[in-house]
A = this chain, B = another copy of it.
Amino acid sequence: MNILDEKINHINILLASKSPRRQELLKNIFSNFKIEVREIDETFPNSLKGGNIAQYISEQKAKAFILDKRDDLIITADTIVCLGDIVLGKPKSHQEAYDMLRSLSGKTHVVYTGVSLLFKGRITSFYDATHVSFYDLSDEEINYYINKHQPFDKAGSYGIQEWMGYVGIQKMEGDFFNVMGLPLHKLYREVNKLID
């Protein structure tokens, strides 16, 4: 029994994400939740930058449930990787993954996860930012990682909880779990506020 479970045992929780990493992470603060995913258009206004992009897309994901008028607490999230003003998405090929990792090598990028909570017809949203600094990566390391871990489902072409995260990252600043796809600390606190 989790400390938040007792407070919210009258509320059904729905995680609207197909990411297995988010599902694993959420289990650490809620024992029970369902998963239901609705596809949305993930384009965003050009005027948005960084964390506001991730927050905007998470809001769109939550809005896909708003007409349901159900009693559940619905959690949506979106994670993006930004190198300066460039937003790195999921790579479509080995070459794209190589190019992304080559561009991240030796530099600091920012990972933003936006989260929206739809509860009682209202959406509360926020984002968290984590700065991640890569070592200089060799071609051998980049190609080894892509071949072994096939990071084609990951924005920015790497998972921090995989080999590249273990050996390629010099330092990070912020929430580790935010990089994995869900800022658990903030989420825990926002849910606490919402149900208080």
Contacts and interface: CB of A to CB of B under 8 A. Distances in A.
A177 B140 CA distance: 23
B175 A169 contact: yes
B166 A184 contact: yes
How many copies the complex holds: the figure is 2
A185 B167 contact: yes
Nearest to A130: B171
B185 A29 contact: no
Interface in A137-176: 140-141, 144, 160, 163, 166-176
A172 to B, nearest CB: 7
A188 B175 contact: no
A86 interface: no
A3 interface: yes
A134 to B, nearest CB: 10
A44 interface: no
A29 to B, nearest CB: 6
A175 B170 CA distance: 7
Given A135-B185, A141-B3, A176 B172 contact: yes
A38 B160 CA distance: 33
Nearest to A187: B167
Given A3-B140, A163-B28, A166-B28, A175 B185 contact: no
Contacts of A135: 185, 189
Contact of A188 (B140, B167, B173, B176): B167
Contacts of A172: 172-176
Given A28-B163, A167-B184, A168-B185, 15 more contacts: A3-B140, A3-B141, A28-B166, A29-B167, A135-B185, A135-B189, A160-B176, A166-B177, A166-B185, A166-B188, A167-B185, A167-B189, A169-B175, A172-B173, A172-B174
20 contacts: A2-B163, A3-B140, A3-B141, A3-B144, A25-B166, A28-B163, A28-B166, A29-B163, A135-B189, A167-B184, A167-B185, A167-B188, A167-B189, A168-B185, A169-B175, A170-B185, A171-B174, A172-B173, A173-B173, A176-B176
